[in-house]
Each structure stands twice: as structure tokens, then as C-alpha cells.
Amino acid sequence: MRVTFTQSLNNQVLRGWILLRIETDDICTQIWTSSTFDPYQELYIWLGQIRDFQLPAKMIIDEEGREVELIAESLSDLLVQFRIEPWMSARNTTTRLNITVERCELLKAFYDGIIKFIQDEYQPSQWSHIDHLSNTNWGALLKQNNSSSQNWQTRLAMYGGGHSRVPETGRETISNQLTLEQQWLVTLHDVLLWIANLAANTKSK
């Protein structure tokens, strides 16, 4: 299994798209990720859920307005079923990819693709005003988790699940279970995101 990322820039608004390409021996599928909802935090959380066996794990990628899901489900202690499906799309109900793969192989495929992209193509100054990619410790996902209490679903809900695109994460329900410090961190994240988006929109005009 091989995962590659390719950047396409739109110089007018200093943002672009990432082409996510997933290849196996029998099939290849490509997804254009959204330029508005960059998927880095969600992708990191999704891979963390897979590593720590908090399955099933789903991640939504907004592909030019047509949302699709990356889905990983448990088959055994080592194997997961990985597939890509349309989400809320009446036009296309076809499963794009459906394979059985080892958890470690799935994680390493995404890790290798991300690291190669950062080294060869990623230009934070030309991507957006918030850099979520090169400041993330992707390598930690390849190591065994030292904390059994890590709850990626809580992190997803705190983050917002892709800017409120995933209502089923139950952010409102989770917020009642957060400590006061965690609630402040959620508020701080939202404020910083609002400021960054305001700056980006102002600069693009």
C-alpha cells in the first residue's frame, strides 16, 4: 500500500489543495482535499485512533464540496478493513476502495506519504495562515502509545471534528465531560481559528 500527497497552489488566496492518492496492488484512488477545511488535525487524530485500536475510526474529507469518509474497522488485533465511501451523496454510492491491511502498514503508508510531502513540496508560507502540518509530531504515531488513557474521540470533539462538519462526534456532549482547563483550550482554539480566518480573508481581498 502506498499513500502520496501532492500540493496544488492557488496563488490568489495563498491556499491550495492536496491531492491524496492511495494505491494498492489492484487499485488506485485519488481524492482532492478541501482548501477551506485543511484535514491535518483530523488526519492526525484518525491515525491515532487506528494506532491505539480505537476502532471503528472515521474521518471526513471535503472533496471539492463532496464529502467522503476514510473508514478503518477492526478485523483482528493486527488487521483492519480500510475503505473510502461517499458521505451524504445521492449521486455516488460506490465504495472507492476496500482492502484488508495490517494496522502498522496503514499507519506507515500515511506517515511515509506525509513526511515525503513535507520534505519535497510543502511550503507553509504559501499554504495558509495556520500551519498544522509540519508542526505536528507525525513520527509519534509510529511508536507504541505510553498512555492508556489517550482518548482520540475526545480530542476530535474538542478540535471540532473538521470545523463542525461531523456532528456525530457529539462535541456538546463531550464538553460536559471536560475539565475547566480543557474547556478554556477549546475556547482558545476557536478564537485563534476565527482570528486566522479573518486575517486570511482580509489579506485575500
pLDDT for 34 equals 74
pLDDT surpasses 50 at 12: no
- Residue 114: name the closest of 144, 92, 136 by CA: 136
Q: Cell 500551519 sits at which residue?
A: 131
> Which cell numbers in the block locate residue 77?
488485533
> Which cell numbers in the block locate residue 105?
502498514
Provide, for the chain, the percentages of residues in helix, strand and coil under a 3-state DSSP scheme, each rounded to the nearest 5: 40, 25, 35
CB 87 within 8 A of CB 69: yes
> How many degrees, rounded to 5, is the angle at CA 133 between CA 43 and CA 135?
120
pLDDT for 202 equals 65
Q: pLDDT digits over 114-147, tens only?
A: 999 989 888 776 665 556 677 788 999 998 876 6
pTM comes to: 0.76
CB 130 within 8 A of CB 193: yes
Cα–Cα distance for residue pair 21/30, rounded to 1 Å? 4
Say which range, 98-102, 104-108, 114-118, 199-203, has the weakest mean pLDDT. Answer: 199-203
What is the chain's Cα-based Rg?
A: 17
- Cis peptide bond upstream of 39, omega within 30: no
Q: pLDDT digits over 66-85, tens only?
A: 778 899 999 999 999 999 98
- Residue 33: name the closest of 64, 59, 71 by CA: 64
Architecture of the CATH domain 2-147: 2-Layer Sandwich (3.30)
Q: pLDDT digits over 19-30, tens only?
A: 899 999 888 888
